Amino acid sequence: MASPLEGKRICVTGGGGFLGRVVVARLRERGCPDVFVVRKRDYDLVSGSDVGRLYADARPDVVVHLAAVVGGIGANRENPGRYFYENLMMGVQLIEGARLHGVGKFVQVGTICAYPKFTPVPFKEDDLWDGYPEETNAPYGIAKKALLVQCQAYRDQYGMNAVYLLPVNLYGPGDNFDPQTSHVIPALIKKFVDARERGEPRVEVWGTGAATREFLYVDDAAEGIVLAAEAYDGRDPVNLGSGEEMSIRDLASVIAAETGFEGEIVWDASKPDGQPRRALDVTRAAGLFGFRARVGFAEGLRRTVEWYRASKAAAAVAGPASEG
């Protein structure tokens, strides 16, 4: 069966990134060769003039907005103003630009960080406004949540088909392994692989390990986004997740075993745990556009560790970049 997106001009912000590359590949598999990939080096989406230039260049029928300034707990604590301003301005201007240019559909990808700190588990979309987000990532989460308000307001006033998705923590090959900005899975993979290679007897991990998280493999996330672009036209936000909750303590043990690290895991309780629990109710996505996660965590983690080791080995063979 042909995809409803087949033959349409589709613009994907952040299309060269971790999630964006997979979304672009899925769109092309669906018969969309005309995908306009937006990269920061070409368009600064915080700049209104660049957003206007983007729409003039791309002339899209559909926009999928993935671009974000994002990081783990440490990066959020160090950049609250930047994360609020840049994420808000990118989204606000892109949505307004879509209205001005008559874009047929706008898919806004939000964040699980928008949920209140003490949301009952599993998180239901109707709980989104029942409290303030966890403090360390509240500026980022609120900036993203404001875009849901804009999508709904533009739907009400202008009839704009803007949909809003709430993905849980993502992971997979090609993730960000920079220790300054990475999320928990790539951060732990790097720590354990590096410690094993160096023969280090222990690895230190932030927090108590009591917090819980849910994880979604990047290929599954991309499929959910494309399915929503094809088949969801509603005003209500929709969770994208696996529906499986795991403590950070258990996560660290699983990653240690997968990487072959046999030393001690030391928990630094002086560092924040972040949100106490995270796990999504994923029934809305299944009912509205048939999305269910397919890749189990053990398989997804194995692929991610293999990718990190291979990329690290390739970088070692290449050596430092030559000057000039």
Residues annotated catalytic, as ranges: 140
Q: Where are the domains of the chain?
A: 10-316
Looking at residues 52-71, what average pLDDT do you find? Answer: 96
List pLDDT tens digits, range 173-221. Answer: 999 999 888 889 999 999 999 999 999 999 999 999 999 999 999 999 9
Distance CA 99, CA 161 (A): 10
Region 151-171 average pLDDT: 98
* Res. 319: pLDDT tops 90: no
pLDDT confidence of residue 322: 44
pLDDT band of 321, cuts 50, 70, 90: low
**Beta bridge partners of residue 12, listed in sequence order:** 37, 64
Whole-number average pLDDT of the chain:
95
Q: Tens digits of per-residue pLDDT, 279-302?
A: 999 999 999 999 999 999 999 999
291: left (phi > 0), else alpha (psi -120 to 50), else beta?
Answer: beta
- Average pLDDT score over residue span 156-168: 98
**Short-list 317, 261, 285, CA closest to 167:** 285
Q: Are 217 and 173 in contact (CB under 8 A)?
A: no
CA distance linking residue 88 with residue 143, whole number of Å = 5
The pTM of the full predicted model, rounded to 2 decimals, is 0.94
- Give residue-wise pLDDT tens across range 76-117: 899 999 999 999 999 999 999 999 999 999 999 999 999 999
Residue 264 phi/psi, 5° resolution? Answer: -90, 140
Question: Could you report the per-residue pLDDT of 20-49, keeping only the tens digit for each?
Answer: 999 999 999 999 998 999 999 999 999 999
In CATH, 10-316 is 3.40.50.2300: no
Pairing of strands 246-247, 212-213: antiparallel
